[in-house]
Chains A and B, each alone.
Chain A
Amino acid sequence: MRRGNGLPIVRAAAQARRWRDSDGEHIDVRGLPPPEPLVEILQLVGSIADGSIADCSAVIVHHDREPVLLYPELAQIGWQAERLAGEPDEVRLRLERCA
């Protein structure tokens, strides 16, 4: 999401877009101010880990930058991240439980 001047819109409300696809539960946190991407992603991971969201074992994250602070949080709960190919200016990750 970009304004006409090329700067990304920063969403005021803490609402990440989510949808289910064949490869997992998708979450788009682009434009959210920190630390909301971290919070939203971990909430979703937590919901899958405790079974609140059924029949799902992976989260696909659509982010606008490398979420460096997410990785230690994932490690703490036994999850890991793998970088996927995505759109230009997008950081796309696949999150799943460590083997």
Chain B
Amino acid sequence: MFFHLLAWLALLAGSAPVASFTDGLGWPLAALHLVTLGVLAMTAIGASLQLLPVATRQPVRSHRAPALIWWLYAPGVGLVALGMGLAQPRWLALGAAAVTVALVAFALLLARNLWHARGMPGVVAHGWTALLALVALLATALLLVATWNGAPLVARGTLLPLHVAFAAYGFMGMLALGLSYILVPMFALAPAPDERRQRASFVCAAAALALVVPASFGLAPRLFLAGAVGAGALAVALHLQLMARALATGMRRELGRSFKLVRFAWGALVASLGVALALALEAPIDHLGVWFGLVLIGGWLLTFLLGILQRILPFLASMHAGPGVRPPTPASLTFDRPLAVHFVCHLAALALLALALALENALLVRVAAAAGAIGAAAFALFYVVLLLRMHRAARAVPAPPRT
């Protein structure tokens, strides 16, 4: 929640560079990484350690490791953001080192869980690919940091597409797609999606990632990138078909505001492939790279995550209200008004950012960032109230214990 708010504030600080699309270290880059590392990856770590054991039928073997990972990861992200925002490559390097150690520890924890998996092969395959993508993402990140610190070991033009592809579509994307096969049917109370189609979608998505690699090294880039987009489009089509079926056949049809955000995010995922194709074909459209980032990170991943979080957090809080206590209902834990504020502000922020990019207007970037920050603060309020109500419920008179 904290990094979510900080990301919009960093964008507010860096509104002029965003509007004029200057590249390099600065607050826009810091804002981007506060979202990707501070919000998306942070949540992915927690979500995968909570949900993958459901699919793999394996518990997470260490209870202390996630806490240790957090204590290394969170300050590391802060240092990365400060290093980028204040253009301090040494701070960036230190932060990157801490983040890398934390993510490697998380990767080992996840690998151990996946290795002994006993169910849901489609979800497990997505998990393994996310893990491999994480390794590639960390390698490219460290090489980029080396470049910023005056040691360019690999050309930035090679590293950047790999970094973006493996971060957004690889690590985060594979986790989002894979965990959706558990979460969406769970929310809709629908049967598990067809395993063969899950695997078909996975194969196409993995092929898409693989095709980015030769393109990044300058080998027939237009052909391989267009192929990657094609394979990615097929993967997304199969995935969304399964999601639509789950929503259409589930016992619960009304999923509220959270799923309006999720549906918007799915639309942005499709749109991101269109922008990716335009990039691959070097279409003569101004600032395509920034549009790609807005649609991919803001439109798809962040919106999807926030939609899912506001649905699942009350359930997780109810689950963790304490042993031997009749759980409070998720509805009783949810303070809905801030979520309504967040919904409007988040979508307004994205729309205003798009307008700001089209018009190259720094003032509009500031207005967008302010709207985003208000939305983020509202979301944080929902979360704080959730925790307070959960603790209050845990202190209430316990129901007869489950024996």
Q: Which residues of A contact B (CB under 8 A)?
A: 7-8, 10, 12, 14, 33-36, 38-39, 42-43, 46, 64-65, 68-69, 71-72, 75-76, 80-84, 93, 98
A83→B120 CA distance, assembly (Å): 27
By beta carbon, the residue of chain A nearest B120 is A33
Knowing A38-B186, A72-B330, the reply to whether A33 touches B119 (Cβ < 8 A) is yes
What's the least CB distance linking B51 to chain A, in Å? 9
- Within 8 Å by CB of B318, from A14, A75, A93, lies A75
State which residues 168-209 of B face A: CB under 8 Å.
182, 185-186, 189-192, 195
- B326 contacts the other chain (Cβ, under 8 Å)? yes
Bits for B317-341, please: 1 = Cβ < 8 Å to A, else 0: 0110000001111110000000000
Q: Which residues of B are found within 8 Å of A75, using beta-carbon distances?
A: 318, 326-330
Identify whether the interface residues of A are mostly helix, strand, loop, or mixed.
mixed
- B62 contacts the other chain (Cβ, under 8 Å)? no
By beta carbon, the residue of chain B nearest A34 is B54
Q: How large is the interface on B (under 10, 10 to 19, 20 to 34, 35 or more residues)?
A: 20 to 34
- Within 8 Å by CB of B402, from A42, A64, A82, lies A82
Q: Which residues of A are found within 8 Å of B331, using beta-carbon distances?
A: 76
Tell whether, in the assembled complex, residue A42 and residue B329 are in contact, meaning their CB atoms are under 8 Å apart: no
Tell whether, in the assembled complex, residue B186 and residue A76 are in contact, meaning their CB atoms are under 8 Å apart: no
By beta carbon, the residue of chain A nearest B185 is A35
- B403 contacts the other chain (Cβ, under 8 Å)? yes
Knowing A34-B120, A43-B251, the reply to whether A76 touches B192 (Cβ < 8 A) is no
- B400 contacts the other chain (Cβ, under 8 Å)? yes
Tell whether, in the assembled complex, residue A34 and residue B326 are in contact, meaning their CB atoms are under 8 Å apart: no
Q: A33-B192, A35-B192, A71-B327 provided; 7 other pairs, C-beta below 8 A?
A: A34-B182, A39-B190, A42-B251, A64-B57, A76-B329, A83-B402, A93-B402
Residue pairs across A and B with Cβ atoms less than 8 A apart, 25 shown, are A7-B118, A10-B118, A12-B195, A14-B191, A33-B192, A34-B54, A34-B119, A34-B182, A35-B186, A35-B192, A38-B189, A46-B251, A69-B54, A69-B186, A72-B314, A72-B318, A72-B330, A75-B327, A76-B329, A76-B331, A80-B326, A81-B402, A83-B403, A84-B403, A93-B402
Q: Which residues of B are found within 8 Å of A33, using beta-carbon distances?
A: 119-120, 192
Q: Which residues of B are found within 8 Å of A80, using beta-carbon distances?
A: 326, 399
- Within 8 Å by CB of B192, from A36, A68, A71, lies A36
Q: Which residues of A are found within 8 Å of B399, using beta-carbon distances?
A: 80
Q: Which residues of B are found within 8 Å of A46, using beta-carbon distances?
A: 251
Knowing A35-B185, A39-B189, the reply to whether A69 touches B319 (Cβ < 8 A) is yes
A98→B182 CA distance, assembly (Å): 28
- B55 contacts the other chain (Cβ, under 8 Å)? yes
- B315 contacts the other chain (Cβ, under 8 Å)? yes
